[in-house]
Amino acid sequence: DQQVKQNSPSLSVQEGRISILNCDYTNSMFDYFLWYKKYPAEGPTFLISISSIKDKNEDGRFTVFLNKSAKHLSLHIVPSQPGDSAVYFCAASPSETYKYIFGTGTRLKVLA
Amino acid sequence: DGGITQSPKYLFRKEGQNVTLSCEQNLNHDAMYWYRQDPGQGLRLIYYSQIVNDFQKGDIAEGYSVSREKKESFPLTVTSAQKNPTAFYLCASRGGVSYGYTFGSGTRLTVV
């Protein structure tokens, strides 16, 4: 039973346009949410986080939106750049346990 | 420069052998984690440790063992009881005010 789902295995976007990566979760106890970026044969790199007390967090080109009632979060990348091409994982954890459950990832390809 | 070091980057194991994957961090983080990544799947938690001399099983602990004798080190042993050990293994740590993980660069284990 997957508690964190990324239903789109892949996404292609033109350079300069917006990339929107989606993530759904089932456990209402999840309070902390993370997005990671991963290149092949490397460890994931932290991108951005959000806690359940917020519905939006922004860091440069990256914005994460959280809709608690829908149990949905999304990562927006604007503008998308070729270097953003990677696999993106969302992760969620119940409050204060920090035991993150990861989605299966979305492979983003930004076309030049 | 603080970070997490995983070694070796590539590891080959014969069937029936135990192997140990190294994970060392100099971030002064209390918590450390081992995840496994398989193609098309998210990261799955094997074991985690919140403090020295204490660790708990994650979702897929069967066939694995760990120790946490020092704050800096959290080695993972893949035993011969693990039926499908070929995977990419990731070590992570968490500490301070951050509620996200810092990941190592991973070890790719292949059974030959």
Residue B19 identity (one-letter amino acid): V
Output phi, psi for A82, to 5 deg. -55, -35
Q: Is B100 close to A34, i.e. CB distance below 8 A?
A: yes
* Host H or E run for residue A86: strand A86-94
Eight-state DSSP code of residue A82: G
What confidence tier does A98 reach under pLDDT thresholds 50, 70, 90?
confident
B104 and A CB contact within 8 Å: yes
What single-letter amino acid sits at B56?
Q
Q: What is the pLDDT of residues B65-112, one digit of tens each?
A: 999 999 999 999 999 888 899 999 999 999 877 778 999 999 999 998
Confirm if B58 and B49 have CB atoms less than 8 A apart. no
> Between vectors from CA A6 to CA A5 and to CA A12, what angle results, nearest 5°?
175
3-state SS class at B70: strand
pLDDT, one tens digit per residue, over A2-12 is: 899 999 999 99
* Amino acid type, A47: L
Chain centroid to Cα A37, Å, comes to 8
Band of the pLDDT at B1, cuts 50, 70, 90?
low
Under DSSP, the state recorded for B73 is B
Q: Which of A31, A37, A99 is nearest to B45 (CA)?
A: A99
Q: Residue B85 burial by CB count (10 A; 0-12/13-18/19+): exposed, middle or buried?
A: buried
Residue A78: DSSP 8-state: S
Q: Which residues contact B98 (CB under 8 A, 6 or more apart)?
A: none
- Checking if the pLDDT of A96 tops 80, the result is no
* Interface list for B 31-90 with A (CB within 8 A): 31, 35, 40-45, 48, 58, 88, 90
At residue A95, the pLDDT reads 74
Q: Do B99 and A43 touch (CB under 8 A)?
A: no
Whether B106 and A46 lie within 8 Å, measured CB to CB: no
Helix (H, G, I), strand (E, B) or coil at A95: coil
What are the tens digits of pLDDT across the range B56-74? 999 999 999 999 999 999 9
Whether B100 and chain A come into contact, CB under 8 Å, resolves to yes
Phi-psi region of A110 (alpha: psi -120 to 50; beta: other; left: phi over 0): beta
| Mean pLDDT, rounded, for A13-27 | 97
- Chain A interface mutation, best of B11, B29, B34, B37, highest count of A Cβ atoms under 10 Å: B37
Q: Is B13 exposed, middle or buried (0-12, 13-18, 19+ CB in 10 A)?
A: middle
Q: B106 and A43: CB-CB below 8 Å?
A: yes
